[in-house]
Amino acid sequence: MRLSVHHHFEPKPNSMKKTYYILILGLALGLAACKKFANEAFNDTTTEKTTLKVKVMNDKDNRLEPGVKILISRKIDASAAFQVIDTVRTNAQGELTYQVPFPNLFRAEIDTAFYKYDSKELLMQNASNGELVLHTKPKFGMSTVDISVLDSASSTALADFLVNVSYRKIGTAKFIDNGSEKTNASGKLLLSLPYPTEVKVKIGNTTAYRPDSVSVNLLDENSKSTQLKVSTSALFAFNASDALDLQYVANTSFNVYVKKTGESAFTLFKTMLTDASGNFNLMIPQPAQVKVEMLNNTYFTNYSVVADVPTYATVKQKAVLTLKAPAYTSPVLTNLQSTELVLNNGLSLNGPQDMTTDGKGNIYITDSGNNRIIKVDNTGNATVLAGNGTAGTVDGAGEDAQFSAPYGIRCGTDGSLYVADDTRHIIRKIVIAADGKATVSTIAGAAGSSGTTDGAGTTARFNRPAGIALDKANRYLYVAEWGGNKVRKVDLSNNTVSTVAGSGTSSVLGGTGTAATFQIPWGVALTDDETGLYVASWNGSSISKINLANSFVTVLRKGATTNFSSPRGIYVAGGKLYVANTGNHTLSAINTEVETNTTFNLLMGTTTSGNAVGSATATRFNGPVGIWYDKYSGKFYIADTGNNKIKVIRGN
């Protein structure tokens, strides 16, 4: 059933009465048939809808008029007034179509800014389509402007996008606001406006989108077109750092997911890798939500965060990552294989003495002959962390600082490094900033002055410090002092130095504290429970063990054997002591720990020096010194000093 009411003409006098009664009767029948109008929202997909078509006839030129603004109204109750539900413009053919729920009574009327008024009403009772024809005449000389709104990055048309249109007569200063309207499904808006005018099209929602505009001149009745390009993305700036030492986490992969407004699930948008400063920047479509995830990383626990990207404004997200517990607390010793750590960027080693790792895959090496500290990150990129290559004791920025034959090195849980600077008799500390820059300071001993004095900081004296060990709490640093034949301790809370054991006499004897002796002690290693400290005497081919509760020293082995000779570097992992035998070019581990008669098993190498990698029997060393085990990767690192190499060993 269709009933239209026309307002653009007057009935003839002799038919007025008859027409009046027909209209009243029609309305009454229509309203009776529609006792309940559809009042659901227009976006309710469960409500049945049909098509209302509206045509606008320009009676002056006898043609359908494009770009005319039409107000669509409806009644949701028979006794209520019409409610405007939308404003729509006719297309290039002078018509528009609109999906409407039924049953409803609808009205279409012409906006009177530039055209004479007309309106019609139509009762939509069922799924049959309806049509209204409005008649009008323009008040001015009119032309059309065809506006396309596009994404500036992809040139994709932006549908249902709000723009603001204003115009001014050419030659005048003030723009007249013509209101805000949305583009159609094709990202277009066709407007009929007076000429000669300058038309300005602006982004309507400048809270969500970066403000921008475009202008076009209408000089005559010929239509013009223009494009408004919109940035629909926002900068998402991400930074990752380590919760423990606050250093940036570089070279780490994160998956970025996006859920646009109206979508129900996140989809993978891009996989990003953090740069040297722990950053990545990404343009995200907005408005949207973004989810950043890092799963199954070797060093850090899983991370996930969701952030809103509501507008074009930059969104900053900082991730503070937590280290995992080590996965390989005990080394796997079956089928040991060795490889060589290859340095890039033109770097090479000269007499490397020791190395350590930080739990994030970064390796730090004392490049003793070159008087510097080398860093190899978890991607294999090698750089000079500290030391300018000239022997000296200058503190300060890493690239300006000086070392003189650095030997032992260890890393604290806060990321700080401790280094025994051998020939200058001092202990150095390297603090690494969030951006990876190093600062070197001297925390104990006086540069160039050897001695045995205990005391605070630079009042203390060392005599050729070599291997060092750091407790888990980062409170005490133990130092093997090979020139003074002693084991010293630095309290890192105040840098006070004390003597743990050793009289200074070059021999190997047990006893309490200074009653005991060592013979050129080189390596020290804490037991897993940190109640004891192993000491390797290089010249004495001996291993001693200090009970840290009472400083009592027990000699575990004195004199070389087939699998044990001139030990220097030592390390404890999984309750077992591992030894780098400088004297016979091998690696070994304690088999049975017995006072004075401890035995050792051969792990890798032979008594013949060389330089080869591969299986345990094929590998050759040349005077290995430092040994370190990384509990995160399950790898041993060996300073193969005579070959100027670092060898990497792992079982499977």
Place of tokens 């020139």: 483
Phi, psi of 594 (to 5 degrees): -135, 140
Give the type of residue at 19.
Answer: T
Sequence letter at residue 17 = K
**Side-chain-side CA neighbours of residue 96 (13 Å):** 26
Q: Name the 3-class secondary structure at 19.
A: helix
Are the C-beta atoms of residues 221 and 142 closer than 8 Å to each other?
A: yes
CA distance 350 to 368: 7
Please list the alpha-helical segments (H only) found in 388-478.
none
Identify the pLDDT of residue 617.
Answer: 96
- In a 3-state reduction of DSSP, which class is residue 25? helix
Please answer whether residues 189 and 87 qualify as being in contact, where contact means their C-beta atoms are separated by less than 8 angstroms: no
Query: Which 8-state DSSP code applies to residue 459?
Result: G
Which tokens in the block code for residue 587?
A: 């690696």
User: How does pLDDT run across 502-546, given as a tens digit for each residue?
Assistant: 999 999 999 999 999 999 999 999 999 999 999 999 999 999 999
- Quote the pLDDT of residue 42: 53
Query: Would strands 233-242 and 197-203 be described as parallel, antiparallel, or unpaired?
Result: unpaired
pLDDT of residue 16: 43
d(CA 172, CA 135): 32
- Write the CB contacts of 594 (distance below 8 Å, at least 6 apart in sequence): 556
Question: Is residue 46 very low, low, confident or very high in pLDDT (cuts 50, 70, 90)?
Answer: low
How far is C-alpha 306 from the chain's CA centre? 12
Residue of 620, 519, 526 whose CA lies nearest to 560: 519
Q: Which residues partner with 400 through β-bridges?
A: none
Q: What is the mean pLDDT of residues 206-228?
A: 94
Q: CA–CA separation, 127 vs 38, rounded Å?
A: 13
User: Rounded CA gap, 491 and 477, in Å?
Assistant: 7
- Give the mean pLDDT of the chain: 92
Q: Which segments within 464-575 are labelled E, that is strand?
A: 465-470, 476-481, 486-491, 496-501, 511-512, 521-526, 532-537, 542-547, 552-558, 567-573
Least confident of 75-84, 406-415, 488-497: 75-84
| DSSP code string of 244-261 | TT--B--S-EEEEEEEET
Give residues with Cβ within 8 angstroms of 80, minimum separation 6.
none
Q: Cα dist. 399→221, 283, 367 in Å?
A: 72, 36, 15
Q: Are 30 and 121 in contact (CB under 8 A)?
A: no
Spatial separation of the C-alpha atoms in residues 147 and 213, rounded to whole Å: 12
User: Among 433, 407, 402, 412, which residue's Cα sits nearest to residue 422?
Assistant: 407
Whether the CA torsion 159, 160, 164, 169 is positive or negative: it is: positive
The answer to whether 355 and 373 are in contact (CB under 8 A) is: no
The CA radius of gyration of the chain, in Å to the nearest whole number, is 42
Q: For the full predicted model, state whether its pTM sits above 0.85.
A: no
Are the CB atoms for 299 and 324 separated by under 8 Å? Answer: yes
Express as a percent the part of the chain with pLDDT over 70: 93
CB-based burial, 474-484: b 16+ in 10 Å, e otherwise? bebbbbbbbbb
Residue 648's SS3 state is strand
Residue 520, Cβ density class (10 Å: 0-12 exposed, 13-18 middle, ≥19 buried): buried
- Cβ atoms of 273 and 252 closer than 8 Å: yes
Amino acid at position 318, single letter: K
Q: Which of 605, 616, 614 is nearest to 642 (CA)?
A: 605
Report the alpha-carbon angle 79-86-212, nearest 5.
155
Q: Please give the domain boundaries of the chain with CATH numbers for all domains.
A: 49-136 (2.60.40.1120), 142-232 (2.60.40.1120), 237-308 (2.60.40), 338-650 (2.120.10.30)
Collect all residues with Cβ–Cβ distance below 8 Å to 43 and sequence separation of at least 6: none
- What distance in Å separates the CA atoms of residue 577 and residue 543, rounded to the nearest whole number? 10
Least confident residue range of 74-83, 127-136, 190-199:
74-83
Q: pLDDT value at position 256?
A: 98
261: nearest Cα among 230, 232, 231, 286: 286
Q: List helix spans (H) across 296-378.
A: none
Lowest mean pLDDT among 117-121, 174-178, 242-246, 350-354: 242-246
Interatomic CA distance for residues 38 and 48, integer angstroms: 9
List, in sequence order, every residue forming a beta bridge with 375; answer none if it has no partner.
Answer: 364, 383
Counts for the chain of helices (H) and strands (E), in that order: 1, 50
Q: How many CA atoms lie within 13 A of 431 on its CB side?
A: 10
pLDDT digits (tens, 9 = 90+) for 417-449: 999 999 999 999 999 999 889 999 999 999 999
The per-residue pLDDT for range 586-613, each reduced to its tens digit, is: 999 999 899 999 999 999 999 999 999 9
581 — pLDDT class (breaks 50, 70, 90): very high
pLDDT tier at 146 (50, 70, 90 boundaries)? very high
DSSP code at position 82: P
Question: Could you read off the pLDDT of 3-39 as tens digits, one per residue?
Answer: 343 333 233 344 444 444 444 434 443 443 333 455 5
Helix (H, G, I), strand (E, B) or coil at 643: helix
Identify the pLDDT of residue 75: 86
